């Protein structure tokens, strides 16, 4: 038996029944691949069907209000992905008559679609012989060839391209990814359950776990952030984030990077709110701190409870009140979510049970 037929036969028997595997709709596959970037399958599962129920077609997504799209994504994080997805849907409506292009170069021209996503859509939805290379595929190929991968990804891409040529290219790519996700795992590959051990150099030399060699991690950077927690009548004040906000949601608690420079508690966020919105808040006591990691930035979040502004934020000012109970439907960052959960549930459960 050949490598291809062995792996495909195994995939046919053993593959997990995932909702995006039951469709060839390129839009649905695009959604799933976007959700799966930097996110585990288990976390994506509840979102995928809900998102498609809310925006069943590419045209629905293109025409939707951005806030509704972000709310449907709320909790998955990395909101740039869904902004790109919606922008891509709009470009497909305008430039491709609403039909997702089959050509990988045209796919890669869409925002947020890199070589991996283009290869996945082209092969899975359109049956084209286009390769994919993600962490799972890279690891499997490194082990098959006993290549530590220190020379970069070019050789793995080349190998992936040569292997995808043949029948069922979409299933081939998914089988490779499935093998990496469920059997050929990073620390302890289950070679005893592998359908293709005879084709694996690393396994034959008894050194599977040595491949690929770990890449040196980018050193992470600690960022000091001051966050204002402003409550009024069971609601908290949120600020619409620009592209450069430190917390990176659509709406967040007002926050500012301090660089550790502000000696007075609350001074940094008070100044920031005055400069950004012309409102004056009164910093009070410290709340429970939190920390949150975004890629290689470790945020240390100092939480300052502040008295609410004297006047209502003007409509369109980029500030709004969020009532208790709205958190799940509001596209806030993971950092804001952590701060609210640490500070509001505890603070309110003893006072009558309001919980976010
Ligand atoms: Fe991975 Fe082991 Fe299979 Fe090789 S034999 S592909 S190391 S699971």
pLDDT tens across 116-164, in order? Answer: 999 999 999 999 999 999 999 999 999 999 999 988 899 999 999 999 9
Q: Tally the C-alpha atoms within 13 A of residue 211's C-alpha that lie toward its C-beta.
A: 25
Which SS3 state, helix, strand or coil, does residue 269 take? helix
User: Which residue is it, tokens 């439907």?
Assistant: 329
Ligand 1 site, residue 111, Cβ cutoff 6 A: no
Q: How is the chain split among helix, strand and coil, in percent rounded to 5?
A: 45, 15, 40
33 is catalytic: yes
C-beta of residue 225 within 8 angstroms of C-beta of residue 302: yes
Residue whose CA is closest, atom 1 of ligand 1?
A: 184
> For strand 290-294 and strand 282-286, is the pairing parallel, antiparallel, or unpaired?
unpaired
Tell how far the Cα of 298 is from the centroid of ligand 1, in angstroms.
35
Tokens of 50: 């809900």
pLDDT at 251: 87
| 304 C-beta closer than 6 A to ligand 1 | no
Distance from the CA of 42 to the center of ligand 1, in angstroms?
Answer: 23
Is the pTM of the predicted complex or chain greater than 0.85?
no
Ligand 1 pocket, 185 CB below 6 A?
no
Ligand 1 atom at shortest distance from the alpha carbon of 180: 1
DSSP 130: -
- 142 pocket-lining for ligand 1 (C-beta < 6 Å): no
C-alpha 211/C-alpha 45 separation (Å) is: 30
Max avg pLDDT among 6-10, 308-312, 342-346 = 6-10
Ligand 1 center from residue 142 Cα (angstroms): 10
Query: Which of 269, 225, 218 lies closest to 248 in space, CA to CA?
Result: 225
Q: For residue range 179-236, list pLDDT tens digits in order.
A: 999 999 998 999 999 999 999 999 999 999 999 998 777 788 999 999 999 998 889 9
Question: According to the model, what pLDDT value does residue 351 have?
Answer: 34
Query: How far is the centre of ligand 1, averaged over its atoms, from the C-alpha of 101 (Å)?
Result: 35
Beta bridge partners of 297: 221, 294
Which residues, listed in sequence order, are joined to residue 303 by a DSSP beta bridge? 227
- List the residue whose alpha carbon is closest to atom 2 of ligand 1: 191
Helix axes 26-36, 80-95, angle to 10 degrees: 160
Q: Which neighbouring-strand residues pair with 231?
A: 236
Nearest CA to ligand 1 atom 5: 197
Bridge-based pairing of strands 297-307 and 221-232 is: parallel
Question: Where residue 243 falls among pLDDT bands split at 50, 70, 90?
Answer: low
Return the axis-axis angle of helices 169-182 and 3-14, rounded to nearest 10°: 70
């Amino acid at each position: 038996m050949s490598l291809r037929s062995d792996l495909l036969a195994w995939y046919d028997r053993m593959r997990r029944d995932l909702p995006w595997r039951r469709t060839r709709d390129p839009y649905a596959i695009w959604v799933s691949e976007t959700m799966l970037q930097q996110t585990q399958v288990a976390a994506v599962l509840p979102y995928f069907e809900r998102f498609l129920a809310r925006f069943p077609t590419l045209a629905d997504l293109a025409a939707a209000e951005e806030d509704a799209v972000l709310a449907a994504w709320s909790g998955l994080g990395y909101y740039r992905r869904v902004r790109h997805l919606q922008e891509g849907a709009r470009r497909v409506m305008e430039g491709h008559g609403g039909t997702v292009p089959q050509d990988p170069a045209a796919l890669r021209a869409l925002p947020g679609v890199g070589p991996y996503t283009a290869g996945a859509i082209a092969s899975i939805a359109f049956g084209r012989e286009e390769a994919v290379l993600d962490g799972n595929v890279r690891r499997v190929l490194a082990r098959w060839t006993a290549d530590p991968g220190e020379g970069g990804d070019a050789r793995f891409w080349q190998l992936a391209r040569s292997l995808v040529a043949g029948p069922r290219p979409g299933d081939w790519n998914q089988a490779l990814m499935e093998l990496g996700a469920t059997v050929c795992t990073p620390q302890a590959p289950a070679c005893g359950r592998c359908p293709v051990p005879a084709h694996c150099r690393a396994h034959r030399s008894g050194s599977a776990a040595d491949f690929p060699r770990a890449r040196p991690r980018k050193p992470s950077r600690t960022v000091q952030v001051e966050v204002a927690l402003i409550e009024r009548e069971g609601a908290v004040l949120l600020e619409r984030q620009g592209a450069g906000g430190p917390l990176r949601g659509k709406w967040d608690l007002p926050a500012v990077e301090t660089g550790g420079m502000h000696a007075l508690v609350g001074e940094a966020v008070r100044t920031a709110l005055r400069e950004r919105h012309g409102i004056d808040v009164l910093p009070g006591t410290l709340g429970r701190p939190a920390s949150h990691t975004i890629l290689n930035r470790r945020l240390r979040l100092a939480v300052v409870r502040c008295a609410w502004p004297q006047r209502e934020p003007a409509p369109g000012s980029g500030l709004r009140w969020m009532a208790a109970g709205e958190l799940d439907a509001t596209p806030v960052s993971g950092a804001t979510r952590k701060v609210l959960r640490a500070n509001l549930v505890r603070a309110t459960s003893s006072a009558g049970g309001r919980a976010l």
